[in-house]
Structure 1
Amino acid sequence: MSTIELTGDNFEQTVLDSEIVLVDFWASWCGPCRQFAPTFEAAAEKHDGIVFGKVDTEAEQQLAQAASIRSIPTLMVFKKGHLVFNEAGALPPQALDSLLEQVKALDVDKAIAEAQAQAPDAQA
């Protein structure tokens, strides 16, 4: 699967309509972003069933601001519409593959239920 360009117009719908979405926030002037791009593209070809989206932070400044992007590249992973990973920095191929396998195995509904049960106001 190839990567798709995410914009303010399609970001939310893509995240909500897809089981797993990996988002790369990048800019053309960013050296680490350019170095990470081939790793991201290779992972997109390798991992069927995951949407790989790229957000150009220069073209989509409002979206980058809404996502609280402070440095690039930043990777975010959404599962069933929920943010499950958010970290600045490029990952090496093995670490990216490992992350994606962990996200695939994650029972996000169970994780949310456990987090809600542990919330301070849930015990009142």
Structure 2
Amino acid sequence: MATVELTQQNLETTVTGSEIVLIDFWAGWCGPCRMFGPVYERASERHPDIVFGKVDTEAQPELAGAFRISSIPTLMAVRDRTVLYAQPGALPPQALEELIARIRSVDMDEARGGAVRTAGPR
């Protein structure tokens, strides 16, 4: 599955309509973002059951602000509308695969009982 451009118009329906959503906050002028892009795209092809979204922080400054994105690239992982991961920095392919495996293995009943944020602006 190819990556999906996320905007204010489709973010909520994408997150609420999908079990797992990875969100890459990026910008075209960002060197690490450009290096991470192909890694992210290849992962999207290996995991067609996951939505791989991209938020262009230049085109969607309101979304970047709502999520308090201060460094790019920032990768966010949402499962069942719960943010399980949100960290800046480009991941190498193996680290991205390990993150995906960890997100898949989370006991969501346990995660909801802990200090885990729900998806959406802070």
Normalising by structure 2, what TM-score? Answer: 0.91
Looking at structure 2, the residues matched to 111 and 78 of structure 1 have their Cα atoms a distance apart, in angstroms, of: 12
**Aligned residues, how many?**
115
Letter in 1 for 2:22: L
Instruction: Tell me the secondary structure at the aligned position of residue 90 of structure 2.
Output: coil
- The percentage of aligned residue pairs carrying the same residue is 54
In structure 1, the residue matched to 2:76 is 76
Letter in 2 for 1:81: R
- Alpha-carbon RMSD: 0.9
Higher percent of residues as helix? 1
2:66 is the counterpart of 1:59: no
Looking at structure 1, the residues matched to 23 and 77 of structure 2 have their Cα atoms a distance apart, in angstroms, of: 6
Instruction: Tell me the secondary structure at the aligned position of residue 28 of structure 1.
Output: coil
Point out 4+ residue stretches in structure 1 off by more than 4 angstroms.
Answer: none
Q: How is 1:20-39 mapped onto 2 (pairs within 5 angstroms)?
A: 20-39=20-39
2:15 is the counterpart of 1:15: yes
In structure 1, the residue matched to 2:109 is 109
Question: What stretches of structure 2 of length at least 5 have no aligned partner?
Answer: 116-122
Normalising by structure 1, what TM-score? Answer: 0.90
In structure 2, the residue matched to 1:41 is 41
Residues 13-58 of structure 1 show CA distances to partners (whole Å, capped at 9, x for unaligned) of 1111100000000000000000000100000001121000000000
Q: Larger C-alpha radius of gyration, 1 or 2?
A: 1
